[in-house]
Amino acid sequence: MYPNTAKVDCVDVYHGVSVADPYRWLEDADSPQTAAWVEAQNAVTFGFLNTIAARETIKNRLTQIWNYERYGVPFRHGNRYFLSKNTGLQNQSVLYSVKQLGDPLEVLLDPNTLSDDGTVALSGYAWSEDGQYFAYATSASGSDWQQWYVRDVETGKDLEDHLRWVKFSGASWRKDNSGFYYSRYDEPNEATQFQDTNYYQKLYFHQLGTSQSEDILVYERPDQKEWGFSGEVSEDGNYLIISVSQGTDPKNRVFYLSLQDPNSEVISLIPEPNASYGFIGNNGSLLWFVTDKEATRSRLIAIDIHDPEKIIEIIPETEETLQGVTILDEKFVATYLKDARTEVKIFNLDGTFFRELALPGIGSAFGFTGKRSDHETFYAFSSFTCPNTIYRYDMTSGESTVLFEPNVDFNPEEYTTEQVFYTSKDGTQIPMFLSYKKGISLDGNNPTYLYGYGGFNIPLTPSFSASTLIWMELGGIYAVANLRGGGEYGEAWHQAGTKLNKQNVFDDFIAAGEWLIANNYTKTEKLAIGGGSNGGLLVGAAMTQRPDLFAAALPAVGVLDMLRFQLFTIGWAWVSDYGSSDDPEEFQALYAYSPLHNLKPGTSYPATMITTADHDDRVVPAHSFKFAAALQAAHQGTNPVLIRIETKAGHGAGKPTTKIIEEAADRWGFLVKILGMVSP
Considering 206, 615, 635, 651, which one is annotated as catalytic?
651
Q: Is the pLDDT of residue 680 over 80?
A: no
Tell me the per-residue pLDDT of 344-366, one tens digit each, with 9 for 90 and over: 999 999 999 999 999 999 999 99
In whole angstroms, what is the distance from residue 314 CA to residue 349 CA?
A: 8
Q: Is the pLDDT of residue 295 over 70?
A: yes
Q: What is the pLDDT of residue 649?
A: 64
Q: What is the pLDDT of residue 530?
A: 98
Q: What is the pLDDT of residue 119?
A: 86
In whole angstroms, what is the distance from residue 644 CA to residue 544 CA?
A: 20
Cα torsion through 535, 539, 545, 549, rounded to 10: 130
Tell me the per-residue pLDDT of 175-217, one tens digit each, with 9 for 90 and over: 999 999 999 999 988 777 777 788 999 999 999 999 999 999 9
Question: What is the secondary structure of 94-129 as a DSSP string?
Answer: EEEEESSTTSPPEEEE-GGGG-SSS-EEEEEEEE-T
Q: Which residues contact 269 (CB under 8 A, 6 or more apart)?
A: 254, 255, 256, 287, 303, 305, 308
In whole angstroms, what is the distance from residue 476 CA to residue 526 CA?
A: 9
Q: Is the pLDDT of residue 581 over 90?
A: yes
Contact 474, 505 (CB under 8 A): no
Considering 143, 169, 533, 581, which one is annotated as catalytic?
533
Q: Is the pLDDT of residue 653 over 70?
A: no
Tell me the per-residue pLDDT of 599-640, one tens digit each, with 9 for 90 and over: 999 999 999 999 998 877 788 999 999 999 999 999 999 999
Contact 362, 383 (CB under 8 A): yes
Backbone angles phi, psi at 62, to 5 degrees: -60, -45
Query: Would the pTM of this model clear 0.85, i.e. be above it?
Result: yes
Q: What is the mean pLDDT of the chain?
A: 95
Contact 553, 538 (CB under 8 A): no
Backbone angles phi, psi at 311, to 5 degrees: -105, 125
651 is known as an active-site residue: yes
Q: Is the pLDDT of residue 143 over 90?
A: no
In whole angstroms, what is the distance from residue 616 CA to residue 612 CA?
A: 7
Kindly give the pairing relationship between strand 415-423 and strand 400-404. Answer: unpaired
Contact 643, 612 (CB under 8 A): yes
Smallest CA-to-CA distance from 551 within 439, 672, 389 is with: 672
In whole angstroms, what is the distance from residue 382 CA to residue 327 CA?
A: 23
In whole angstroms, what is the distance from residue 641 CA to residue 515 CA?
A: 26
Domains in the chain, CATH or no CATH each: 11-63+410-674 (3.40.50.1820), 71-404 (2.130.10.120)
Mean pLDDT for 139-143 is: 85
651 falls in which pLDDT band (50, 70, 90)? low
Mean pLDDT for 300-304 is: 98
Which amino acid, residue 145? W
